[in-house]
Structure 1
């Protein structure tokens, strides 16, 4: 599961989050810090269930004789990008800002793109990763399938 707690729409402003978002227009009415913490807990729980569920079904219950199972830990990959953006994104790497920004209540034609390269951003807008991040996920997926990635957990 994506680490959505880092998305500008769900992050508190003191952690680089956007105060206003087209995806959450009433954000100011919520305790964003608490909401962010719940997102982190949910993402951790889902990732743990996927990992342990695969291990349980394949290895312990032997549910799929002769099959191999791989769990791709996208969450870990994206956290690595967030922690070391210069290794993955173009200069000047930016993991807190957004490439495509819309002022509060703006019409689509009033939104603006950053003057920095799109490939330098993790977030396209308040919620969605950029094409560069999606490409990194796709490239890593191929490595996982070939069993050549630390982000793959392999059973069988």
Structure 2
């Protein structure tokens, strides 16, 4: 064999070794996308419509990344109902059991080497001890890893203080109709999201030595949505003026228990919808979901590292 061929073979081996030890999957590795979480990731929300009342981000991410989508996220979900008692499905009591049931009965067959698992949870868990909430997300990685999964993306909490529900200028709405100190809520939510995300990064980093042969990334939903808020011209493209403080479907309620419903509802239609950052007082708009999907898909296929931190 010529010296040139030997040298080429050495470079090929070194290149493969580098990718095998690299942080994050190699380009083109991921073919399947399995999503867990709440209404932010639910493609149906149990009522036939996602949280954005249009097409949820996992559908777009599958399209942008050329993935086959396996969605398990459910509207209203917490990480575990043992931590946050609610009359809604949860990741550990409903979503994971359904996933394992389908895997065991043969209706779901996935190759762990080309499958990415994502979790976006926490919106419905706020108010619970942050250590327990983040620990539950860490346990999600542990459980799936123990069952053979090897590629994970955990999406941190977006800046909930920027939603209408938790903003300082909030009004009585479909999610909260009682009197409250909106400034206090805004400050408290800012503290929760920042503390929770810092804790998540620390706990997931501490987990990585136990995940031999795996890839784990933290997608910075907080940073991305904050950037949309600060620079809407880079992300929103509707026919109306950019709007990051209002929403497509806004319903104001009276502070009166005898009132059965909203006093007024303003709903934007048509192409102007893509000018809004939020769909309603809590959920991102479809255009924002497209942005999230584009960046997550780009991170997974390794076209961009702007909003992801691959720990391993």
TM-score, with structure 1 as normaliser: 0.84
Tell me how many residue pairs correspond in the alignment.
147
Counterpart residue number, 2:177: 25
Answer yes or no: is 1:102 the counterpart of 2:251.
yes
Kept after mapping to 1: 8 A contact 2:165/2:282 = yes
Q: Distance in 1 between matches of 2:267 and 2:284?
A: 14
**Structure with bigger gyration radius:** 2
Give the alignment partner of residue 57 of structure 1, picking from 189, 192, 207: 207
| 1:95-124: CA deviation from partner (whole Å, max 9, x where unpaired) | 00111122325747x633136710000111
Answer yes or no: is 1:11 the counterpart of 2:167.
yes
Counterpart residue number, 1:39: 189
Give the unaligned 5+ runs of structure 2: 1-156, 255-259
| 1:15-59: CA deviation from partner (whole Å, max 9, x where unpaired) | xx3x22121101xx322211111111111112112212222221x
Q: Which protein has the bigger helix share? A: 1
Q: Distance in 1 between matches of 2:267 and 2:185?
A: 28
Structure 1 residues 12 and 64: CA distance shift in structure 2, 3 A: same
Q: Which runs of 4+ in 1 moved over 4 A?
A: 105-108
Give the alignment partner of residue 81 of structure 1, picking from 228, 235, 238: 228
Counterpart residue number, 1:68: 215
| 1:61-98: CA deviation from partner (whole Å, max 9, x where unpaired) | x1112222111111111001001001100252110011
**Considering only aligned residues, what root-mean-square deviation do their CA atoms show, in Å?**
2.1
Counterpart residue number, 1:134: 289
Give the unaligned 5+ runs of structure 1: none
Q: Distance in 2 between matches of 1:24 and 1:107?
A: 12
Counterpart residue number, 1:152: 308
